[in-house]
Amino acid sequence: MTLIDEPHAFDDLARDVPDDLNPFQAFGELLRQQPQVTIVKLAGLARGGGAEFVAAADMAFAAEGHAGLAQCEALMGITPGGGATPYLSRRMTRGRALEVILGSELIDATTAERYGWINRALPAAEFDGFVDRLARNIAALPEGVIAAAKKAVPLADLGDGYRREHDAWASLFQRPAAEKLIRGGLKAGAQTRDGERNLEGLLRALEI
């Protein structure tokens, strides 16, 4: 959000990222390209870039009654810019991806599982044990199995999706509505602990 006041804050990072990616997309792509299996355990709320991080991992599991995901950028007058649009369009139907992006609601773990955003929603009492057991079982596999499996289940080429996403995000970021909403969100405390707990409500209360 502070890019609205510091548009060049990420210039140094941008010099080191691959062509046709912005720094946020490059971070997700770095995670996606890891040779290890990446597993997210979500027991809290992940919005915006945090939700994109979850979607970039190989697997994600969420605790029922505790976890939530949201892409709430539309409430700031912009679209996601860190990989959400290509990630979600491959994890769920187009209609559900648009619901997540344009509806800008916090999605609970059970719904996220049903939509395909995560692997599984698990009861909180079983959450840690299940994910830890899975990770240990994977780690105990014979050498070469993980690499072979990741090669056999190839990553989608998201190049075109990244370019379309960045163009949409960058074009909206320059508009007066986005500037007013983002500044208003910061003034209302969107970057504070209390503000983030009710981010969608805080942003919806702003006047364009």
pLDDT band at 18 (very low <50, low <70, confident <90, very high): confident
Active site residue 143: no
Active site residue 73: yes
What integer pLDDT is reported at residue 173 of this predicted model? 84
What would the pLDDT profile of 90-137 be if each residue is shown by its tens digit?
999 999 999 999 999 999 999 999 999 999 999 999 999 999 999 999
Q: Contact, 74 vs 172, CB < 8 A? A: no
User: Which is the catalytic residue, given 29, 52, 113, 165?
Assistant: 52
Domain total of the chain: 1
Model confidence at 53: pLDDT above 90? yes
Model confidence at 15: pLDDT above 70? no
Backbone angles phi and psi of 46, in degrees to 5: -130, 115
Q: Distance between CA 140 and CA 136 in Å, rounded?
A: 6
Instruction: Assign residue 191 the CATH number of its domain.
Output: 3.90.226.10
Range of the domain at 129: 2-204
Model confidence at 2: pLDDT above 90? no
Helix then strand then coil, % of the chain, to nearest 5: 55, 10, 35
User: Which is the catalytic residue, given 73, 99, 179, 207?
Assistant: 73
Percent of the chain with pLDDT over 90: 85
Cβ neighbours of residue 206 closer than 8 Å, sequence gap 6 or more:
75, 180, 181, 184, 185, 188
